[in-house]
Structure 1
Amino acid sequence: MYAPERHQSILETARAQGRVEVAALAAALDVTPETVRRDLSVLERQGLLRRVHGGAIPVERLGVEPGVAVREGLLAAEKARIAKLALEEVPEDGAILIDAGTTTVRLAEMLPTDRPLSVVTHSLPVATVLAGRPNVTLHLVGGTVRGRTLAAVGPWAQRELAEIQVDVAFLGTNGLTPERGLTTPDLAEAAVKRALVACARKVVVLADHTKLGRDDFAHVVGLEAVHVVVTDSGADPDLARAVVEAGPVVVLA
């Protein structure tokens, strides 16, 4: 197993179990404890884990939200597949809204160039991708920009979103559970995401499999407000079925 594969396995285990221990990881991965400690150090430098005596804890357990630069390189292939499949939800004629997030940026990059599109976003990275597209009429929502997500939040953003209606909103999320729906670490982000949902006729959530089953601090909306969840084939089948039972269609990329 190559180092990047170990890192992904360690991170997924930490998020699923709440913590990881060096000895158990060394046995499971068939490597030395020294190799595991180096891997944990790498993941800590990337802002994904926090080292503790004998192991590590995922930063989500500590209320720490990784920044955009950290998240961009994670599960890149899965995010690309999700974004490509989500293109099927883009209407032939109408307006769409694209939320902040690394998977939603991939969707913006893949939007068709052969027809006019009206796109609303509060995400600076999404706006940067689309600003030069001659076929896109871009509407940028203002507000206070969060450094973690490079997204506009606050009352200004909420007021602007309350004045519009789009055909489809493509949302990102930090966490998604059948019981609590969509969640995110930040209250201001959660408030804007609720405004995104409220102004859309159809809500499509783009979430890789590590987001399913994760429950963050701030509640956004329940799954009854979501029409489609696009995730990847790494999603736990039982969890995916529970999500379907809560309301939305689940599509695997």
Structure 2
Amino acid sequence: MYAEERQQSIAELITTRGRVSVADLSTSYGVTTETVRRDLAVLDRAGIVRRVHGGAVPASALTIAEPGVGEREYTRAEQKDAIAAAAVDYLPPSGGSAVFDAGTTTGRLAALLGNASELTLITNSIPIAARVAPLGGVNLRMLGGRVRGTTQAAVGEEALSALEWLRVDVAFIGTNALSVGHGLSTPDSDEAAVKRAMVRTANHVVVLADSSKIGREHVVSFARLDSIDVLVTDPDIDDNDHKSLTDNGIEVVIA
């Protein structure tokens, strides 16, 4: 196979699978890893793929666009429901505390707190606060700050200052993207700063992310993989991604 033919085939494979490792491509095409890296460099320069740690993803996987809450609420809804149901097992015991990051999957978990007992819940999310405010078993603390219309989340110095002095049992964190090389990432720097502070406040960090987020990267990284204790995701996670995450010490729970 000529180099051009191999590169076209690699591009088609990455477009179909979403993420492919250098090692897998080397085995599949019977060439050295150095040859694969050169092929990926050619495709990257052409704007067809984007190289990431250990492999490549489609160029469209590296984005700065951020859909609004209304659009995300109905995207992969079934998977998000299952993830939220599985994440209930990681709620702290009675009298415990948790910080809930803004997001549609963390919002679904908040909707399952009807039987919570003496849970102190801290959040920067207006939708989550609205859901849990009427619950008798939840002591709600709302972070202040500028509210982003896209995510309906409070961000900025007020939120960061409040989080600086807090320590909670568990942080339930959402993310726009997750990769081995870039960690957890999101398009907005203000949102990233609050997420980063939430991760630092927690004794235990549980990430709720459907498999479409895995292997993707956004502009601003807010947490490295060694900051995460648990990832709750769906069965569509790629086997290689699953192994990479567990190799990095993360408990991967399939909802």
Residue 16 of structure 1 and its aligned partner are, at CA, apart by: 5.8
2:102 counterpart SS class: coil
2:223 counterpart SS class: coil
Match in the other structure for 1:146: 148
**Inter-partner Cα distance in structure 2 for 1:242 and 1:143:** 37
Runs of 4+ in 1 over 3 A off after TM superposition: 13-18, 57-62
Alpha-carbon RMSD across the aligned residues, in angstroms, is 2.0
1:142 counterpart SS class: coil
Task: State the AA in 1 paired with 2:155.
Answer: V
**Inter-partner Cα distance in structure 2 for 1:60 and 1:73:** 20
* Contact 1:187/1:218 (8 A) holds in 2: yes
Match in the other structure for 2:105: 103
In the alignment, which of 243, 249, 252 is matched to residue 250 of structure 1? 252
Give CA deviations for 1:51-89 in whole Å, capped at 9, x if unaligned: xxxxxx997655221000000001111000000000000
Match in the other structure for 1:74: 75
Residue 91 of structure 1 and its aligned partner are, at CA, apart by: 1.3
* Contact 1:59/1:65 (8 A) holds in 2: no
Match in the other structure for 1:194: 196
**Inter-partner Cα distance in structure 1 for 2:84 and 2:219:** 26
Residue 117 of structure 1 and its aligned partner are, at CA, apart by: 1.1
Match in the other structure for 1:117: 119
- Structure 1 gaps of 5+ residues are 1-12, 19-56
* Contact 2:178/2:216 (8 A) holds in 1: yes
**Inter-partner Cα distance in structure 1 for 2:119 and 2:17:** 39
1:74 counterpart SS class: coil
**Inter-partner Cα distance in structure 2 for 1:15 and 1:70:** 24
Residues 1:129 and 1:211: Cα distance change in structure 2 (over 3 Å): same
* Contact 1:15/1:58 (8 A) holds in 2: no
- Structure 2 gaps of 5+ residues are 1-13, 20-57
The percentage of aligned residue pairs carrying the same residue is 42
Residues 1:244 and 1:135: Cα distance change in structure 2 (over 3 Å): same
Task: State the AA in 2 paired with 1:105.
Answer: G
Are 2:226 and 1:227 aligned? no
**Inter-partner Cα distance in structure 1 for 2:206 and 2:188:** 21
**Inter-partner Cα distance in structure 1 for 2:220 and 2:17:** 19
Structure (1 or 2) with the larger CA radius of gyration: 2
**Inter-partner Cα distance in structure 2 for 1:105 and 1:148:** 15
Residue 99 of structure 1 and its aligned partner are, at CA, apart by: 0.5
Residue 131 of structure 1 and its aligned partner are, at CA, apart by: 0.8
**Inter-partner Cα distance in structure 1 for 2:146 and 2:124:** 10
Match in the other structure for 1:21: none
Residues 1:114 and 1:171: Cα distance change in structure 2 (over 3 Å): closer
1:210 counterpart SS class: helix
2:207 counterpart SS class: strand
1:230 counterpart SS class: strand
Alignment of structure 1 residues 5-84 onto 2, 5 Å: 61=62, 63-84=64-85
